[in-house]
């Protein structure tokens, strides 16, 4: 909900920054500000309200030639957390010398203690924000080298940050850093852009560098020097955004949903990047904010969410039990909030929400906190209410998801849950070598998904032959059971086909009565434990005339022999395989809906974010 843009180059920085802020406005904001470097001094303009108000104010109050002469600056759209959306609380914030300006996304959790310490040293604060405390802390640490001062300050803060820092003492630089809040650097010709979201960059350059957690970058117009917080250089490759800015927002895809399905190798790489530790065979998820001891003492994990996020939680349940030997359960958030859940301080409640705004999930978070559980969130939208209220958790970094039908958020949710289970599992159950093996499999998820996306055309052809059905059943076992539920949800919400997901063993306890000749049964029969039983259930359906579309493991001729049609996904760890399997079903659902001529991105009766009970 907050946005950062920084610019250093040859253009009019103020105009550039204002345009960049406009591209971030979709996040929602309540105030904005910018700081530019002019003649070795920092000039600041801030305003409550929209970016247009800030623009009007800067143009009215600043000398006109500032727009021509200033070529370096930082800017921010704020969605108020610490203090109301007033001019004084808007970013950028200055240190006490006025020579350092800072914009910040995230929350400095220990800002009260830091503020008290700085006040005792004579610092005066103008705002109620945590960010101003960080600006002062950097100034307090500055002994002549601002980069070192930023490192020193960041070592002392707890919480999350994506920051951009401007200093009058070194006017040809912006310093950017991140922990838990994204920062992407656009590398242009003689100009460099720092942003919290690639949408502020893509009109200017396709070449970007994604900072990892605890990276700190010294950015000039023609260089990007990245270190860790101990000043050790780190190498981050320049990536191509791969988005054609001219092709409007859909980037040339017919629908956002298809675009978002195809984005998944990239969004998964973002979700995984920097979070696997191949030395320890574990995962690095600093946003969880938990010590090894706290993790070791956990007695139970409760995953709460709604819709697709609930299904991701169901996959997580298998992961926590299998990998971490930890009792895990999933609860629909609306049910959880009213059922008087029994919780204690050894229970970890993980709220899963793409938007971070779902009313029932938010209420579940509040209920869990009230009962003294250890609460964290797994959200996609940075700065969303659930992310802020939980104060700790892991962001998905899937990028904006615009289609109502959730796709890339689901696969990133599962990937992050697997990494959480890996981290917990290493502390509780398995050895380093086992951890490394699993980390290597997780690292390959984007590649596995890429392989499924290459099947887009054959899947479209299969979908066409099922498009006129009125009913469909999805079945699976183990971690593929929730994938079956998710596959059915995708089909019903965008194609309006009546689709139901069942545990493969459950059909014969009732639903099998509905099978008729050619009723589609989409069976997830990948080569994982339980496959033979699923093949048996498939035969029960075939005996009643059902038409079977199987999701099988590539090369599994035995399973293929049971199917009328088959989609093969890459062979991988059974939990990891849930992700490519889900992607295959997303493509199937998408093409079913397309063949039926449905309004795919905005299905009837649905909203992207459900903020009412
Ligand atoms: O933003 P959330 O993840 O909390 O949203 C939860 C559900 O509303 C959402 O997943 C919904 O089920 C999707 N439209 C399904 O594609």
- 309 C-alpha to ligand 1 centroid (Å): 6
pLDDT in tens, 579-588: 999 999 999 9
**81-117 confidence digits (pLDDT tens):** 788 889 999 999 999 999 999 999 888 989 999 999 9
Cis peptide before 92 (omega within 30 of 0): yes
Number of other residues whose CB lies within 10 A of the CB of residue 420: 27
Sign (positive or negative) of CA dihedral 19, 22, 23, 27: positive
The average pLDDT across 367-395 equals 88
For residue 170, give both structure tokens.
């070194």
421, 479 Cβ separation under 8 angstroms:
no
Ligand 1 centroid to residue 352 C-alpha, Å: 10
Least confident of 149-153, 197-201, 363-367: 197-201
Asked if residue 309 has its Cβ within 6 Å of ligand 1, the reply is: yes
Tell me the mean pLDDT in the region 333-354: 93
Cα 517 from Cα 504, distance rounded (Å) = 19
> Percent of the chain, pLDDT > 70?
96
Q: Predicted confidence band at 356 (pLDDT cuts at 50, 70, 90)? A: confident
Averaged pLDDT, 342-359: 92
pLDDT digits (tens, 9 = 90+) for 243-301: 555 433 678 899 989 999 999 999 999 999 999 999 999 999 988 988 888 888 899 99
The answer to whether the CB of 47 is under 6 A from ligand 1 is: no
Which tokens hold the place of 37? 């470097």
- Say if residue 534's pLDDT is above 90: yes
DSSP 178: E
Mutate to test the pocket of ligand 1, among 311, 358, 488, 492 (most ligand atoms within 8 A of CB): 358
CB-CB contact of 220 with 192 (8 Å): yes
Q: Which residues are catalytically annotated?
A: 2, 608
Q: At what angle do helices 408-428 and 445-453 cross, to 10 degrees?
A: 150
Q: Is the pLDDT of residue 565 over 70?
A: yes
Q: What is the pLDDT of residue 607?
A: 67
DSSP annotation of 217 reads E
* Distance, CA of 613 to CA of 604 (rounded, Å): 19
Residues 6+ apart with CB under 8 A from 549: 462, 466, 520, 521, 522, 523, 563, 564, 565, 566, 567, 588
Burial of 426 per CB tally in 10 Å (0-12, 13-18, 19+): buried
**The pLDDT value given to residue 247:** 37
Among 478, 484, 482, residue whose Cα is nearest residue 574: 478
Kindly give the number of the ligand 1 atom that is closest to the alpha carbon of 490. Answer: 16
With a 6 Å cutoff on the Cβ, whether 216 touches ligand 1 is no
For position 28, what pLDDT does the model report?
A: 47
The pLDDT assigned to 453 comes to 98
Give me the sign of the Cα torsion angle 379, 384, 387, 393: positive
Q: pTM, whole model, 2 decimals?
A: 0.65
For residue 381, pLDDT over 80 is answered with no
Report the mean per-residue pLDDT for the chain.
92
CA 518 to chain centre: 40
Q: Would you say the CB of residue 602 lies under 6 angstroms from ligand 1?
A: no
- DSSP for 388-401 reads HHH--EEE------
Q: What is the mean pLDDT of residues 230-248?
A: 74
**Cβ of 582 less than 6 Å from ligand 1:** no
CA distance 366 to 517: 49
Q: DSSP state, 289?
A: -
Q: Which of 368, 418, 423 lies closest to 391, judged by CA? A: 368
Q: Write a three-state SS string for 97-157.
A: CCCEEEEEECCECCHHHHHHHHHHCCCCCCCCCHHHHHHHHHHHHCCCCHHHHHHHHHHHC
Residue 355, ligand 1, Cβ within 6 A: yes
Question: Would you state the pLDDT for residue 26?
Answer: 52
Give Cα 547 distance to the centre of its chain. Answer: 37
Per-residue pLDDT of 419-471, as tens digits, reads 999 999 998 888 999 999 999 999 999 999 999 999 999 999 999 999 999 99
- Report CA(421)–ligand 1 centroid distance (Å): 23
The mean per-residue pLDDT over the stretch 208-235 comes to 93
Region for 295 from its dihedrals, namely left if φ exceeds 0, alpha if ψ lies in -120 to 50, beta otherwise? alpha
Domains and CATH numbers, the chain: 2-247 (3.60.20.10), 253-443 (3.40.50.10490), 454-606 (3.40.50.10490)
First to last CA, the chain: 22
In the chain, how long is the greatest CA-to-CA distance? Answer: 82
Q: Which stretches of 372-482 are assigned E, i.e. beta strand? A: 374-379, 393-395, 471-476
**Ligand 1 centre distance from Cα of residue 592 (Å):** 20
Name the least confident of 149-163, 548-562, 598-612. 598-612
């Amino acid at each position: 909900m907050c946005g950062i843009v920084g610019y250093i180059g040859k253009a009019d920085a103020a105009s550039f920054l204002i345009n960049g802020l406009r591209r971030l406005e979709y996040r929602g904001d309540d105030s904005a500000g910018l700081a530019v470097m002019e003649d070795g001094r920092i000039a600041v303009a801030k305003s409550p309200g929209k970016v247009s108000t800030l623009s009007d104010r800067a143009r009215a109050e600043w000398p006109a030639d500032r727009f021509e002469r200033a070529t370096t600056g930082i800017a921010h759209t704020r969605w108020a957390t610490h203090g109301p959306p007033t001019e004084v609380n808007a970013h950028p914030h200055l240190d006490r010398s006025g020579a350092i300006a800072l914009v910040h996304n995230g929350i400095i959790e220990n800002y009260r203690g830091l503020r008290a310490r700085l006040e005792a040293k004579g610092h005066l604060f103008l705002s109620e924000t945590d960010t101003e405390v960080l600006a002062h802390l950097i100034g307090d640490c500055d002994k002549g080298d601002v980069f070192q001062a930023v490192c020193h300050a960041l070592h002392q803060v707890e919480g999350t940050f994506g920051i951009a820092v401007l200093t009058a003492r070194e006017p040809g630089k912006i310093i950017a850093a991140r922990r838990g809040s994204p920062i992407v650097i656009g590398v242009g010709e003689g100009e460099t852009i720092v942003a919290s979201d690639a949408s502020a960059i893509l009109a200017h350059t396709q070449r970007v560098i994604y900072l990892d957690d605890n990276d700190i970058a010294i950015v000039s117009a023609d260089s990007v020097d990245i270190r860790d917080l101990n000043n050790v250089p780190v190498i981050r490759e320049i990536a191509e955004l791969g988005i054609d800015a001219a092709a409007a927002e859909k980037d040339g895809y017919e629908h956002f949903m298809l675009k978002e399905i195809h984005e998944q190798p990239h969004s998964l790489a973002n979700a995984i990047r920097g979070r696997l530790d191949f030395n320890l065979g574990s995962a690095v998820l600093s946003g969880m904010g938990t010590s090894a001891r706290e993790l070791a003492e956990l007695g139970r994990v409760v995953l709460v969410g709604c819709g697709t996020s609930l299904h991701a939680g169901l996959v997580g349940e298998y992961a926590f039990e299998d990998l971490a030997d930890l009792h895990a359960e999933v609860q629909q958030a609306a049910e959880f909030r009213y059922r008087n859940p029994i919780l204690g301080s050894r229970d970890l409640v993980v709220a899963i929400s793409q938007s971070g705004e779902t009313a029932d999930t938010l209420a579940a978070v509040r209920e869990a906190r009230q009962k003294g559980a250890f609460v964290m969130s797994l959200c996609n939208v940075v700065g969303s209410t659930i992310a802020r209220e939980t104060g700790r958790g892991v962001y998905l970094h899937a990028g904006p998801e615009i289609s109502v039908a959730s796709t890339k958020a689901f696969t990133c949710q599962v990937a992050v849950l697997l990494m959480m289970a890996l981290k917990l599992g290493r502390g509780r159950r398995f050895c380093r070598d086992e951890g490394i093996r699993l980390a290597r499999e997780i690292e390959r998820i984007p590649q596995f998904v890429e392989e499924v996306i290459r099947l887009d055309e054959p899947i479209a052809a299969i979908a066409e032959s099922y498009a006129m059905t009125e009913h469909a059943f999805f079945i699976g076992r183990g971690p593929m059971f929730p994938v079956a539920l998710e596959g059915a949800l995708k089909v019903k919400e965008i194609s309006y086909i009546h689709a139901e997901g069942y545990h493969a063993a459950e059909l014969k306890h009732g639903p099998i009565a509905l099978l008729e000749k050619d009723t589609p049964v989409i069976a997830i029969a990948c080569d994982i434990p339980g496959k033979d039983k699923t093949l048996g259930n498939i035969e029960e359906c075939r005996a009643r005339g059902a038409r079977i579309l199987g999701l099988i493991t590539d090369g599994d001729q035995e399973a293929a022999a049971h199917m009328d049609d088959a989609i093969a996904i890459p062979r991988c760890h059974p939990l990891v395989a849930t992700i490519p399997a889900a992607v295959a079903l997303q493509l199937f659902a998408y093409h079913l809906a397309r063949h039926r001529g449905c309004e795919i991105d905005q299905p009837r009766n649905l909203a992207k974010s459900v903020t009412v009970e």
